[in-house]
Amino acid sequence: MKTRQQAADGFYRNLREWFTAFLPRQRGAAENTITSCRQTWNMLLGYVAEHHHIGVEKVTFTLVDRAAVTGFLDHMQAAKSWTASTRNQRLACIRSFFTYAAAAEPALTIYLADLAAIPRLNGPAAAPVKYMSTDAVTALLAAPDPGTRIGLRDQFFMILMYDLAARDAEMLAMTLADIDTRRLTVDLLGKGSKPRRLPITSETAQHFGRYAAVFHPSPEPETPRVSSFPSTGWTTKSI
């Protein structure tokens, strides 16, 4: 009977509303952020259920206390080699839910206060950033043979990525229409689906012209993603 009373504390109702309403609609969280939070909670709920020898559906606010969350973080850090940054991100995700629940139901504030006592973990001091020399970068970008089809493609994307200082995900989301050789700009979709427009050099625009003449002689207005980056190398989606 005690378990039934505990199960009625609204834990899963609040968790469902946090995932389906608060994160995507009110907070406007990116899909990757929601996916990361979902992974965190799946792991935490599994850990708590196993620790208490109960079904996952019987987990309640009372069971997800400071000891359980700390034990979970310690366990995952040891088992999965989580860095201090990863551990802190997971803790922030867990606290975010309890903050939402406490705002929705003030009586739940006691659980948020309990988790507030869990300290963030300080990681090792960041190593000094080392940069490649100009000669090294020049040699790297000159490595592909532009006299071959694959070399032309690889060299263009290496130069474009270097010129933009773009992330992999930003390059993956790019379309041909995002590259404006007249204005010398490129539109990128960054973290949180935030668009940004960056300048490119005239040399990069010339490399794009040579690449496009071979791979996209008659492109559609919104040709899909220009390229992808599998572990085996660069490939062009639209070839």
Task: Compute the CA torsion angle 200, 202, 204, 207 (nearest 10 deg).
Answer: 150
| DSSP assignment letter at 23 | I
- Which is nearest to 111 in space by CA: 9, 3, 2, 7? 9
Distances in whole angstroms, Cα of residue 232 to Cα of each of 135, 155, 156, 226, 229 = 26, 16, 17, 17, 8
Quote the pLDDT of residue 56.
94
* pLDDT attached to residue 192: 67
pLDDT value of position 126: 67
pLDDT score for 219: 65
pLDDT on residue 2: 40
pLDDT confidence of residue 236? 40
Walking along the chain (239 residues) 10 residues at a time, the average pLDDT comes out as 51 96 91 93 97 94 96 95 94 96 94 94 76 90 94 94 90 88 91 85 95 84 46 38
- The reported pLDDT for the residue numbered 125 is 66
